[in-house]
Amino acid sequence: MSPLLHLYQERGVNMDPVKKEDRSQVFQKRGSKQKKQPKKPKKMMTKTFKEGFSGYLFMSPTIFTIGIFVVIPILYALYLSFNDVQLLGGIGYEFIGLDNYTRSFDDGRAMIALKNTAEYVLIVVPVQTCLALLLAAALNSNIRGKNAFRIIFFLPTVTSSAVLTIIFMWMYNPDGLINTFLAFLQLPTYNWLADPSIALKSIMIMNIWATAPFFMVIYLAAMQDISDSVYEAATIDGANWWQKFIYITIPILKPVTFFVVVMGVIGTFQLFDQSYIFSGGSGGPNNSTLTIVLLIYQYAFKSLDMGYASALAVILAIIIMVVTLIQKKFFGEEKLHD
C-alpha cells in the first residue's frame, strides 16, 4: 500500500470506486440545485397589482352605486322587518323579532293580495310567453313586410306603462271602444273597471299586450341564431314545419324560455302601477286588484307601518327566489350551445 493511500485511510477518506448509479444520483442532485425556479421579479408583481387596482378603480362607480342604492336598502329593509318603526314624533325602533312575519299570516288583506298576485302570475306568464314565441316564429318566417310588423309589434313596449293604463281605462269604459266593438258583434259587454270578477282580468289583458313584444324580440334573436343546417337535415328526413317547430325550435330555445319565464315571473310579482292607476291606489273594487306590492305601498306610505311593509317585501323576495329556483330545476341546463 502506498504511503499516500495509507494517509487517506487514516483520515477516513472513502476510497471505494463510485458506481454509475451513485454518479447519476450525484449529478441529479447537482442539477436539481441548479434548476431552482427564479423568484418572481418585483416589477412583475407590481405590474399585476397595478392591473388589478386599475380594474377595481374602473368598477368602483358601479360598485358604489350598487352598494348605495341596492345593498344598503336591502340590509336596511331586513333590519326594519324585525322592528316596530315609529315615524311620528321622532323616528324610533323597537325590536319585536318575527312578529311582523307572523302577523302576515293573520292579515286577511295580505292573503287576498297574495291570491290575486298568484292568479295574475299563473295566467299572464304562460300566455305572454306563448304569444311571444308565436309572434317571433311568425316574424322569423319569410312573410312580406316583416320589418314593419316588428316595429308595430314592439311599439307597446316602448310606451310608458302609465300612458298605456290610461288609454286602456278609456277603452274599458262602459261606453268605450271595447264594449262598442263587442256590441257591434252582438256579444255581451262588461263593466271592466267596476266588476270585481273582471277588473283583474282587464289588467291581465293589458299587461300581456304590452309585455309580450319585448319577449318576442328575445325569442326572435335566439331563433335567428339557430343554424339552417339543422332545419335542412330535418327537411331531408321528411319533417314538416310543425315538426320542425316542436322538435327542433322549442328544445333549442329552452334556455331562452327559462330566461323569459323568470323575467316574466319577477315582473308580474311586482305588479304595481297598473293596479294603482286602475283602482286609484285602493286595490278595488272589493280588493280585486290588490297586489302584494300595492299592499306594501299602502302599509308603508299610508299607514306608515314601515316594519310590517318591510316584512312583506322580504316575504315577496323569498317567494320570487323560491319560484325561480323551481323553474331552474324544471328547465335544467341553461346553455344555449354546448
Share of the chain above pLDDT 90, in %: 51
Average pLDDT over all residues of the chain: 84
Q: Is 70 exceeded by the pLDDT of residue 21? A: no
CB 255 within 8 A of CB 334: yes
Q: Give me the pLDDT at residue 115, please.
A: 95
Q: What is the grid cell recorded at 102?
A: 307572523
CA distances in angstroms from 98 to 81, 86, 265, listed in the order given: 8, 17, 27
Each residue of 144-157: pLDDT tens digit? 887 888 888 888 88
Task: Please give the distance of CA 17 from its chain centroid, rounded to a whole number.
Answer: 77
Tell me how far apart the alpha carbons of residues 258 and 212 are, in angstroms, rounded to a whole number: 15
Each residue of 211-227: pLDDT tens digit? 999 999 999 999 988 88
Residues 6 or more apart in contact with residue 78 via CB below 8 angstroms: 310, 314
CB 253 within 8 A of CB 244: no
Q: Is 14 exposed, middle or buried (0-12, 13-18, 19+ CB in 10 A)?
A: exposed
Ordered structural domains, the chain, with CATH: 3-34 (no CATH), 42-95 (no CATH), 99-331 (1.10.3720.10)
